[in-house]
Amino acid sequence: MPERSGVDKDVILSCQAVHVRFGGVMALTDVDFDVREGTITALIGPNGAGKTTLLNVVSGMVTSTEGAVHLLGQDMTRSPAWKRAQAGAVRTFQNLEVFTTMNVLENVMTGVHRVVRYGALSALFKTPAFFQGERRCRELAEEKLAFVGLKGDWNLPAGELPYGRQRLLELARALAAQPRILLLDEPAAGLNTAETRTLAGLIRRVRDELGITVAIVEHDMDLIMGVSDAITVLHFGKVIASGTPAEIQKNPEVVAAYLGEEAE
């Protein structure tokens, strides 16, 4: 494996020369993407640029054709998705993936899966470990629901929540897993302006209060410019720029490729 030596200890996620091909489509070409611990790092780009694909490569839902993914200090290029989550890289989805048949609280308690553990025998025969574990699990879930501000009936089937609340629920579920890095795929999609503003505050609190690194894919420029410490821009599967929000806003190539599109 061609190590790019001197991978910073601060770098919690590092994608190196990632290529992804879907049949004839090159979804990603030679993509480098780093996320430093403690930051909110954004991945932006027009529709179809390959943002979700890169997040899939990071979370293990798509294996890259070439390249490497270093996550949380390990080479996880070939690790299955669940192992990456176990290691502390937890994601949300652009097209909601809440557990619709389970209620709101159960959804978030499922997020706690990697945090609070007890075995099958404890579950089948309700040993003290079960009771302890369930109590802890419920506490953590309730704490995260409160954190994202999801009020109302937590016994409701999650599928019956309105769209915006399902987004919050997904966020609470991911937070319940106590990730070291949280990967968000267009968390503001389908939200109105007020909801988006709340979300921006929430994402900052995730970093500042919970100390979780955030990698965010987003379309909403105001949100991105407001919350991110660093931005990487994808265009037709290639990185065309990386830098601070101020640098990105001034980059002529980015303006042409992406920002210009919005200004029209």
Query: Do the Cβ atoms of 172 and 199 come closer than 8 Å?
Result: no
Please tell me whether residue 232 adopts helix, strand or coil conformation: strand
Residues 114 and 86: beta-carbon distance below 8 Å? yes
Residues 163-192 that bind other proteins (CB under 8 A): 173-174, 177
Interface positions, 43-82, toward Mg ion (CB under 5 A)? 52
Consecutive H or E run containing 60? none
Size of the site for Mg ion (CB under 5 A): 2
The interface with other proteins within residues 84-123 (CB under 8 A) comprises: 85-86, 90-91, 93, 97-102, 106, 109-114, 116-118, 120, 122-123
Beta-bridged to residue 239, according to DSSP, are 234
Fill in the DSSP letter of residue 184.
Answer: E
134 binds other proteins (CB under 8 A): yes
CB of 191 to other proteins, least distance (A): 19
Q: CA 216, CA 88: separation in Å to the nearest integer? A: 16
- Closest to other proteins by CB, 123 or 156: 123
CA 213 vs. chain centroid, Å, equals 10
Q: Which of 3, 4, 25, 256 binds ligand ADP (CB under 6 A)?
A: 25
Minimum gap (Å) between residue 33 Cβ and Mg ion: 15
53 contacts ligand ADP (rule: CB under 6 A): yes
Q: By C-beta, is 50 or 88 nearer to ligand ADP?
A: 50
Among residues 16, 29, 41, 52, which is the contact residue for ligand ADP, using CB under 6 A?
52
Give which of 220, 216, 244 is closest to 231, Cα–Cα: 244
Binding mask 243-262 for Mg ion (x = CB under 5 A): --------------------
- Choose the one of Mg ion, other proteins, ligand ADP, none that binds residue 131, judging by a C-beta under 5 to 8 angstroms depending on kind: other proteins
Where on the chain is the footprint of other proteins (CB under 8 A)?
Answer: 59-61, 80-82, 85-86, 90-91, 93, 97-102, 106, 109-114, 116-118, 120, 122-126, 130-131, 133-135, 137-138, 173-174, 177
Where on the chain is the footprint of ligand ADP (CB under 6 A)?
Answer: 22, 25, 27, 45, 47-53
Where on the chain is the footprint of Mg ion (CB under 5 A)?
Answer: 52, 94
